[in-house]
């Protein structure tokens, strides 16, 4: 295993592959029913491979990921070998006392007296205001000073502008976690966000390097593109190498559902040095990305300039789910996601009244109301 360091935490070596505990194996379809034997085998394999960064969060597996991890680490007797990371569920925080409530509960669940890396979870512009208004930063600083938190960061899901606001909003950030892969180079904070953080000595953790697994299960056309390289590589290896090639990347989180996947990814992480991808390899990755882009249903870049919609339509996520269905042949899954997370809450395409306010704001010149009709017809 190769190791890297956060600029502000030079004393710690962090494995370039981190184990994410959001998609652990389960007994049946209930996310809360974690398969303890299988999940513990993955954790054990991770430790044997040299992985030392283990990531979880309050809501993962219906709030069962943290207690499972605490018990597993205790049973394996490996607390001194791992760097535990979890996150404050800021969307549940209403007052200052809530910060203490959740941190104390997480320490108990994880069976530890300190959390090595503590993140404010899934920050966006709205949640950043919650952090400020509830005294979150002051609480986090005190919890670090009293030793219950080792290092402070945030995970992020919003626009680049919001990312910059959050990065610049507190000088004590030591690291951040954002989505990045060879397809999503410009999604949310993306490439520009990685560079912005690195310029300020904020370490970067990458999540979704395989885009929830879809970049490991690519269509035959993309496999054919990869097959032109003289050295055989699985699609997942191409995706991981792309992310690890960035010198700003400290660790890459992957939710591996089997020990075999862990060993495969660990093998890549053990040989992928920064700035090592050749021009020919880069050309292949660019061609693979271009193939996906060519299959997009609508040329939405998720910039968010269309927000807010006066009728409450979540334009970005609607187009995002439509595009995923088109690119990855996952219509059934994306339709269910759309209906449950957007349409059922009144934020789907059917809420559009065709006022046209969004059209003039779109840098891509998308005829948004008309395309929303198409999205609704496809996603239901």
Per-residue pLDDT for the chain (380 aa), expressed as one digit of tens each?
999 999 999 999 999 999 999 989 999 889 999 999 999 999 999 999 999 999 999 999 999 999 999 999 999 999 999 999 999 999 999 999 999 999 999 999 999 999 999 999 999 999 999 999 999 999 999 999 999 999 999 999 888 999 999 999 999 999 999 999 998 887 788 899 999 999 999 999 999 898 877 788 888 999 999 999 999 999 999 999 999 999 999 999 988 888 888 999 999 999 999 999 999 999 999 999 999 889 989 988 777 779 899 999 999 999 999 998 998 888 999 999 999 999 999 999 999 999 999 998 887 789 999 999 999 999 98
Q: Where are the domains of the chain?
A: 3-285, 315-379
* Cβ atoms < 10 Å from Cβ of 17: 30
**At a CB cut-off of 8 Å and minimum separation 6, what does 45 contact?**
259, 262, 263
Find the helix or strand (DSSP H, E) in which 204 lies.
strand 203-207
Contacts of 87 (CB under 8 A, 6+ apart): 56, 57, 58, 118, 119, 120, 121, 122, 155
Q: What is the CATH number of domain 3-285?
A: 3.20.20.100
**pTM, entire model:** 0.85
pLDDT at position 372: 97
In contact, 351 and 368? CB cutoff 8 Å: no
β pairing state of 9-15 and 3-6: antiparallel
- CB-based contacts of 103, cutoff 8 Å, min separation 6: 88, 115, 118, 143, 148, 149
> Cα–Cα–Cα angle for 149, 153, 159, nearest 5°?
155
Where do we find the tokens 């690890």? 244
Predicted local distance difference test score (pLDDT) of residue 92: 96
Pair 158, 122: CB distance under 8 Å: no
């Amino acid at each position: 295993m190769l190791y890297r360091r956060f600029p502000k935490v030079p004393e710690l070596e962090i494995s370039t592959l981190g184990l994410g505990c959001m998609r652990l194996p389960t007994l049946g379809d209930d996310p809360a029913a974690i398969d303890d034997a299988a999940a513990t085998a993955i954790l054990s394999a991770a430790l044997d491979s040299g992985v030392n960064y283990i990531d979880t969060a309050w809501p993962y597996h219906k709030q069962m990921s943290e207690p499972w991890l605490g018990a597993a680490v205790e049973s394996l007797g490996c607390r001194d070998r791992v760097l535990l990371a979890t996150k404050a569920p800021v969307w549940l925080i209403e007052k200052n006392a809530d910060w203490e409530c959740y941190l104390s509960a997480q320490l108990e669940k994880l069976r530890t007296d300190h959390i090595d890396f503590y993140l404010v979870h899934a920050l966006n512009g709205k949640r950043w205001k919650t952090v400020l208004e509830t005294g979150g930063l002051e609480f986090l600083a005190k919890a670090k000073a009293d030793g219950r938190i080792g290092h402070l960061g945030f995970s992020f899901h919003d626009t680049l502008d919001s990312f910059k606001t959050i990065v610049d909003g507190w000088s004590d950030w030591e690291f951040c976690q954002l989505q990045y892969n060879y397809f999503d180079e410009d999604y949310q904070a993306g490439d520009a966000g990685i560079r912005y953080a690195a310029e300020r000595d904020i370490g970067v953790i990458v999540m979704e390097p395989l885009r929830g697994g879809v970049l490991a299960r690519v269509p035959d056309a993309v496999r054919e593109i990869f097959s032109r390289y003289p050295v055989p590589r699985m699609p997942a290896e191409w995706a991981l190498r792309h992310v690890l090639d960035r010198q700003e990347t400290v660790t890459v989180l992957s939710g591996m559902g089997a020990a075999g996947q862990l060993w495969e990814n660990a093998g890549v992480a053990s040989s992928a040095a920064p700035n090592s991808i050749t021009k020919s390899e880069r050309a292949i990755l660019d061609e693979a990305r271009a193939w996906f882009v060519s299959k997009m249903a609508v040329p939405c870049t998720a910039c968010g300039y269309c927000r807010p919609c006066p009728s409450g339509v979540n334009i970005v996520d609607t187009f995002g789910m439509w595009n995923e269905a088109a690119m990855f042949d996952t219509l059934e899954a994306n339709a269910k996601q759309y209906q449950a997370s957007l349409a059922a809450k009144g934020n789907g395409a059917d809420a559009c009244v065709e006022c046209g306010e969004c059209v003039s704001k779109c840098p891509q010149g998308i005829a948004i109301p008309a395309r929303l009709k198409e999205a609704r017809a496809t996603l239901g």
